[in-house]
Amino acid sequence: MIDFSIFREYDIRGIYGQNLTQDIVFGIGVALGEIIKASSPIDNNQNDSMHIVIGYDARTHSPTLYQWLKEGLGKSGVKVYHIGMVPTPVAYFATHVPIDGICAYHSVMITGSHNPPQYNGFKITLNRKPFYGASIQALGAKLAQTPISFTPSHTQDTSINALKVYHEYLTTHFAKLKNFPYPIALDYGNGVGALGLEAILDKLAIPHHSLFHEPNGHFPNHHPDPSEEANLTDLKNYMEQHNIPIGLAFDGDADRIALLTSKHSYKGDELAILFAKNLAQNGTPPLVIGEVKCSQAMYEYINKIGKSIMYKTGHSNLKVKLKETGAHLAAEMSGHMFFNDRYFGYDDAIYAGLRALELFLEETPQAIEAAIANLPVFYSTPEEKIPTSEEDKFTIIQRLHTLLQTPPADFPAISEIISIDGVRVVFKDGWGLVRASNTTPVLVTRFEAKDPKNAQLYKTKLLELIEHIKSEL
């Protein structure tokens, strides 16, 4: 029996041995293989269109999932190229740059990202585009309708060294960073980020101090999620003790990043401001995509020097929108950073980290801190999650949108309702967001205003409406 909860909006993710079983993973491989066979080849090259690269993260069960998935793909006649333990962006990279003479149009990264050790899953790229949303749901429905039992195909894979080509590419791309003037500290959280970055730092003679660089799927030191301030404590303490001005932290599969200086930890929207400012200073009016959780300060700043676009949360959504609009970059609050300027438009925390270091070649750490400190002050609440059910979360959002058309008399005056992803209610002095998570049965909320009192007011009034709706379900 298939657990449909593993087929999420952006990827396939579940618990090894519980809902990621041998039959299910093999079936996913068979179904993906059939989709690849039926897809139109890029550049009319039928042979290359049947090539797929597969990598995996540090989780102890990742190699086993690789074997099961490989057997399923081989059953459909897909040629499997093994790139071993790598950061997720290396799997994306291998669909854009030939590796050992191989051009692959498709990739699967076996990873649980920043989830606890028992989780794992698949981030899928087909024809160099994210495989997500309705496509993932359709794959799950097909497997539910026609279950597939594991039958070994004895697929022969071929190992290729994508990591080496990735190192060479980025070392050349960031040659200007050679002999970087500041020492940096890095926290890899025992994920796979060090496999991607350490060799580049060494080749460029960038002085660095690395914490938890050895991949360990049990994540013994702290949870590998740099979007949570608690997980940055070790890095902050190390920077303070050793007087290091710049720090970088990565999630488990190195597609999300946090930048730290001695006085500040930069969120995804603040990084977008820094990168947009740098583009403008170098003569390029920036076009930047943010998500609905990004601060109003980001949108206002970028619109003064270029143009911003607000869009849905989610790495797959932003990758697609980036290509559609031709924007220079996109940013997610969680630290997914996407560069279409000088790169391929996918989220790569290693690339983003090196782009961040470039900023310090033109401005001091103190000047970069001042660029953020001098922005208009907005008070924001932390992202909060309201438990609900998979069945109710989207219903609540729909009813909330309806209620806001004629809100209660004591509700703050509404300037605008943005329905790109959930409900972002814009008030005179701030905004409130309620959206349904696409990965868990919760509502995600965030509130921001020019003063703490209004931020709390917006939060209180919107949560009252949510509780009213929940009581009627």
Cα–Cα distance for residue pair 82/317, rounded to 1 Å? 27
Side chain identity, residue 433: L
The token duo for 249 is 């932290």
Positions marked catalytic: 13, 113, 336
What is the C-alpha separation between 386 and 396, in angstroms, rounded?
A: 11
Q: Are 164 and 100 in contact (CB under 8 A)?
A: no
CA–CA separation, 269 vs 284, rounded Å? 19
Give the CA diameter of the chain: 68
Can you tell me the distance from the alpha carbon of 186 to that of 242, in angstroms, rounded to the nearest whole number?
13
